[in-house]
A = this chain, B = another copy of it.
Amino acid sequence: MLPPHDRSGGAPLDARTGLPVVAMIGGGQLARMTHQAAIALGQSLRVLATDPGESAALVAADVRLGDHRDLAALREVADGATVLTFDHEHVPTEHLAALEADGVRVAPDPAALVHAQDKLVLRHALARAGEPQPAWAEVTTDTGIADFAGATGWPIVLKPPRGGYDGRGVFVVDDLPEALALLAEHGRLLAEERVPMVRELAVQVARSPFGQVAVWPVVETVQRDGINTEVLAPAPGLDDATATAAQELAIRIAQRLGVVGLLAVELFQTADGVVVNELAMRPHNSGHWTIEGARTSQFEQHLRAVLDYPLGSTAMTAPVVVMANVLGGDAATEDWMGPSLDERLHHLMAHWPDVKLHWYGKGQRRGRKLGHVTALGDDLDEVRARAVAAARYLADGVVDAAFAFPEEH
């Protein structure tokens, strides 16, 4: 028999439940779905949201309102929490350092997180580690840009080091004047070659402070205007060698950077293999399929990892899983005259009784990620058609020709 002791080494536990309290900075859909996972583990996610109408704030029991750039708000939400973690990458590094100095457990810690916050820091780190990435340069001068483009040819890709997501902050630039204008605006840029890619892939891996890692199958991510619209799991037709290499790459990065929690590695597949595009150190859109499609979801796994619990099985629950994002479309506009959201959900359920819905409760706006659907099965074409048609119906109220759909119900 073990003597009674607190395995968390003095980190606070909830007095009522005897279990950890994870605090998450940010109240979006990632926090919303993490709260769902926390409920099963006997926990209740504490959320720092900026507005009571945010996705997670609508459903979590312990919501603190405040700004993630306000150190006082961060200190308040960290007080009594076992560990602090993130729904986004926007918390200033110096605030995280201050919290760590207070004795707060931050996962991932600021030294790791900066690689997901700053694209130049990531490029330098991957270069030191000898990991595959696009040709790149840190440019601060006109000649720096001209030299880089001279070596790779136009177009080139320019990225301000911080602040982008969902395709924002990525500029494909065709000529020098356009490039110089961007440089004048930002002062310092990451320049990258435009990778001749076959498609985009993603690998998700979880790592605990103890050093355990768990990786899910490599997936294909389909983008439209820089925003992820579909995730196909596993990546169709990916050869075993490339799949294993991509998983090993993700594990090496997690270990090298000391990631704690979830790491999503976004990859470009080229004729020669894969190169690293970007990282996220949190649950990520490319992992939503795991809620139904894997024995352990990315949200549960993130909680396990940041709490130093042993990680769960990443085995798939079906041969093929497809996640399709619902981006605000025609039905999200003010002058929409078609079926209401509630009616569209009704139709969705009637037509696809085995498609799983995840609706985030946000206000509807064109282009906004409002929810996602997941379909499972044996045949990629069938499963994908089902997921995409369901998502499209929710977004635009439009029925794909491939699916007969009654006008009335």
Q: Which of B3, B61, B363 contacts A59 (CB 8 A)?
A: B61
Q: Which of B41, B349, B359 contacts A40 (CB 8 A)?
A: B359
Q: Is the CB of A1 within 8 A of B397?
A: yes
By secondary structure, the A interface counts as loop
Given contacts A61-B61, A312-B349, contact A19 B341 (CB under 8 A): yes
| Closest chain B residue to A6, Cβ basis | B340
Residues of B within 8 A of A312 (CB): 349, 353-354
Residues of B within 8 A of A17 (CB): 58, 341, 361
Residues of B within 8 A of A317 (CB): 317-318
| Docked CA distance A304–B349 (Å) | 9
What's the least CB distance linking A396 to chain B, in Å?
11
**Cβ proximity bits A293-304 to B, threshold 8 Å, 1 near / 0 not:** 001100000001
Q: Is the CB of B59 within 8 A of A354?
A: no
Interface residues of A in 307-359 (CB under 8 A from B): 309-313, 315, 317-318, 336-343, 345-346, 349-350, 353-354, 356-359
Residues of B within 8 A of A304 (CB): 349
| Docked CA distance A163–B44 (Å) | 31
Residues of B within 8 A of A357 (CB): 40-42
Stretch of A31-39, A66-74, A256-264 with 4 or more beta carbons under 8 angstroms from chain B: A31-39
Asked if A10 lies at the interface with its beta carbon under 8 angstroms from chain B, I say no
Q: Is the CB of B345 within 8 A of A19?
A: yes
Residues of B within 8 A of A224 (CB): none
Q: Which of B16, B18, B60 contacts A340 (CB 8 A)?
A: B18
Q: Is the CB of B61 within 8 A of A60?
A: yes
Asked if A128 lies at the interface with its beta carbon under 8 angstroms from chain B, I say no
Asked if A407 lies at the interface with its beta carbon under 8 angstroms from chain B, I say yes
Q: Is the CB of A361 within 8 A of B408?
A: no
| Closest chain B residue to A13, Cβ basis | B342
Asked if A4 lies at the interface with its beta carbon under 8 angstroms from chain B, I say yes
What's the least CB distance linking A12 to chain B, in Å?
11
Q: Is the CB of B346 within 8 A of A7?
A: yes
Residues of B within 8 A of A311 (CB): 349, 353
Asked if A53 lies at the interface with its beta carbon under 8 angstroms from chain B, I say yes
Asked if A8 lies at the interface with its beta carbon under 8 angstroms from chain B, I say yes
Asked if A20 lies at the interface with its beta carbon under 8 angstroms from chain B, I say yes
| Docked CA distance A19–B394 (Å) | 14
Residues of B within 8 A of A33 (CB): 39
Asked if A360 lies at the interface with its beta carbon under 8 angstroms from chain B, I say yes
| Closest chain B residue to A16, Cβ basis | B53
| Closest chain B residue to A17, Cβ basis | B361
What's the least CB distance linking A7 to chain B, in Å?
5
What's the least CB distance linking A357 to chain B, in Å?
6
What's the least CB distance linking A289 to chain B, in Å?
14
| Docked CA distance A43–B397 (Å) | 20
Q: Name the residue in A353, A359, A408 with the highest tally of chain B Cβ atoms < 10 Å from its Cβ.
A: A353
| Known contacts A4-B340, A36-B36; 13 further A-B pairs (Cβ under 8 A) | A4-B339, A6-B342, A7-B340, A19-B341, A33-B39, A36-B39, A36-B40, A59-B61, A295-B354, A296-B353, A309-B345, A310-B353, A312-B354
- 9 closest A-B pairs by beta carbon, nearest first, are A42-B359, A310-B350, A313-B354, A310-B349, A313-B353, A18-B341, A17-B361, A44-B59, A7-B343
30 A-B pairs with C-beta separation under 8 A = A1-B397, A2-B343, A4-B336, A4-B339, A4-B340, A5-B340, A5-B343, A7-B340, A7-B342, A13-B342, A17-B58, A17-B341, A19-B341, A33-B39, A35-B59, A39-B59, A40-B356, A40-B359, A41-B345, A42-B341, A42-B360, A42-B371, A43-B361, A296-B353, A304-B349, A309-B346, A310-B346, A310-B349, A313-B354, A317-B317
